[in-house]
Amino acid sequence: MTHLTLSDFERDALPTLTQYASIPCLSPAFDAAWSENGYIDQAMELLANWVREREFNDVEIEIHRIEGRTPLMTVTIGATNPGEGTCVLYGHMDKQPPLGDWSEGLAPYQPVRRGDRLYARGVADDGYSTFAAILALEAMEREGIGHSRCVVLIEASEESGSPDLDAYLDLLKAQLGRVELMICLDSGALTYDRLWVTTSLRGVINIELTVSVLEYGQHSGSASGVIPSSFRILRQLLERVEDSSTGDILIPELYGEIPEYVKDSAEEVAREFGDVLARELPALEGLKLMGSSAADRIVRRTWHPTLSVVGMAGIPDPSIAGNVLRPFTSAVLSFRVPPNIDANKAGQAVIKALTENVPSNARVEASFLTGEGWVAPELAPWLAAALDQGSIEAFGRKPGFTGEGGSIPFLGELAKRYPEVQFVATGVLGPQSNAHAIDEMLDLPTAVGVTNAVVTILTAHAQSKES
């Protein structure tokens, strides 16, 4: 049964979603002056005002503000079904920066609709989430479908690693009450033809590493051969953590045991969809991919440790590069780590490898930040059935289950806080949705499908309390 159609979404959500898309409400990590700039507040007010126009029997809309932190919105909707317990629906409204020049006719803050797709920064990651959560609940009340008490929680620091979320979870502990189901609307999808449920997320370790050799730069003709190059020492240090010929990580603490079901489900996905990663990633023609097969690539992307060097400093742009032996080289190392390891412990092991017995006794500074990975807890039978039913009703097909290669650090934190809670992580970030990249896009029918599936899941939760 369809509770919401695309034209409902176009009428009820699209105008405000489009306005939201034009606001550069960057996450604090990308806008140090976010508070003075006021874009996050502006976008949060816009969303809250939109929620205020929706129709509920019993609703409380609050924007919470802890001094020095980004605001957080809760929409608390009273139960229409007997029974205690809370369902939390999570999303975020802060955005990644534009990244670079967008394609012809597209721009990060000038939303454009092409066919059934809306292009702008933040529409899919994760602006749609407020609309999906609220419209699902509004449809239930309109149709007289019972639901438990629900709290829609929209935060504004996710793209910075959710540094503000913990403080709000402390603040809202009593308000959230006994949480029984957590629906996270910020995850990925392999295709747009079904509901995708995330079974795991990798953790992340970010390390800022600086190797210094001189007080200040020197003519390379006078210093080279005597002063060791900071870049060469950086290479040696990187060789300790990553095999440069294979890309394999060399620190044992960054490996976890890969469960059999992960390999089986990767085989299954590969059988149905073929080499989905080879197809979807914009690799240059002729590039030899890592991994031995389609299934192996799926496992590698979701359960293997990897290193990406995501930033460098101390090296001039080629157009102004003089013959100088430079005083230092900095690199930002981004490790993705398996869902089931202790990312903090792993980060300490990497720091140890990078900073002990440094070649030539060069000066090394290293600091790190981590986000824990997450493995979905086993689904309760009522929830497994609801996911099946929700996907079939909304998309005409059974749901897909897969791990994600990215990280949503707070899910690990939430799982620790609420160990008994049932989790559903799903989302609209499918092929060409380009979260974090140029040309971000929301596939509108998928947003509608996810919203309908949320109705089925919340219905099943309420009914599971009756039996």
Spell out a b/e string for 270-287, using b for 16 or more CB atoms within 10 Å of the CB, else e.
Answer: beebeebbeeeeeeeeee
Contact flags string 270-299 toward Zn ion, x per CB under 5 A = ------------------------------
How far is Cα 147 from Cα 80, in angstroms, rounded to an integer?
Answer: 5
Count of residues of this chain found to bind Zn ion when the rule CB under 5 A is applied: 3
Least distance in Å: CB of 25 to Zn ion?
13
Tell me how far, at minimum, the Cβ of 418 lies from Zn ion, in Å. Answer: 20
Rounded-to-integer distance, Cα 407 and Cα 260, Å: 22
x/- contact string, 151-190, with Zn ion (CB under 5 A)? -----------------------------------x----
3-state secondary structure string, 83-124?
A: CCCEEEEEEECCECCCCCCCCCCCCCCCCEEECCEEECCCHH
State how far the Cα of 204 lies from the Cα of 341, in Å rounded to an integer.
11
Strands 374-375 and 196-201: antiparallel
77 contact partners, CB below 8 Å, separation of at least 6: 56, 58, 59, 137, 147, 149, 150, 151, 152
Quick one: 231 or 423, whose CB is closer to Zn ion?
423
94 binds Zn ion (CB under 5 A): no
* Residue among 169 and 462 whose Cβ is closer to Zn ion: 169
Give whichever of 314 and 406 is closer to Zn ion, judged by the CB atom: 406
Choose between 164 and 186: whose C-beta lies nearer to Zn ion: 186
Minimal distance in Å, beta carbon 407 to Zn ion? 10
- Judged by CB, which is closer to Zn ion: 126, or 242? 126
- Copy the structure tokens of residue 438: 């140029």
Distance of closest approach, residue 161 Cβ to Zn ion, in angstroms:
11
Are the C-beta atoms of residues 345 and 252 closer than 8 Å to each other? no
Binders of Zn ion among residues 125 to 144 (CB under 5 A) are: 125-126
Q: Which is nearer to Zn ion, 436 or 465 (CB)?
A: 436
How many alpha carbons lie under 13 Å from residue 297 in its C-beta half-sphere?
19
**Least distance from Zn ion to the Cβ atom of residue 28, Å:** 14
Q: Dig out the tokens for 384 from the structure.
A: 């497994």
CB 95 to Zn ion: min, Å: 9
The 185-224 contact track toward Zn ion, x by CB under 5 A, reads: -x--------------------------------------
Q: How many Å is the Cα radius of gyration of the chain?
A: 24
Give me the least distance between CB of 157 and Zn ion, in Å please: 11
d(CA 246, CA 186): 32
The residues in 362-401 that bind Zn ion, with binding defined as CB under 5 A, are: none
Q: Specify the stretch interacting with Zn ion by CB under 5 A; choose among 119-127, 235-243, 261-269, 347-355.
A: 119-127
Q: Which is nearer to Zn ion, 125 or 180 (CB)?
A: 125
By beta-carbon proximity to Zn ion, the closer residue of 186 and 404 is 186
- For 27, the 3-state DSSP assignment is coil
Question: Shortest distance, CB of residue 23 to Zn ion, whole angstroms?
Answer: 16
Q: Which is nearer to Zn ion, 125 or 253 (CB)?
A: 125
Alpha-carbon distance of 23 to 31, in angstroms, equals 13
Tell me the closest approach of the beta carbon of residue 126 to Zn ion, in angstroms: 4
- Amino acid letter, residue 228: P
Q: Which residues contact 283 (CB under 8 A, 6 or more apart)?
A: 289
Secondary structure (DSSP) of 187-223: -B-S-SSS-EEEEEE-EEEEEEEEEE--SS-EEHHHH
Q: Minimum distance from CB of 229 to Zn ion (Å)?
A: 39
Nearer to Zn ion, 186 or 242 (CB): 186
Stretch that binds Zn ion, among 6-14, 40-48, 117-125, 197-205 (CB under 5 A): 117-125
Footprint of Zn ion on this chain (CB under 5 A)?
A: 125-126, 186
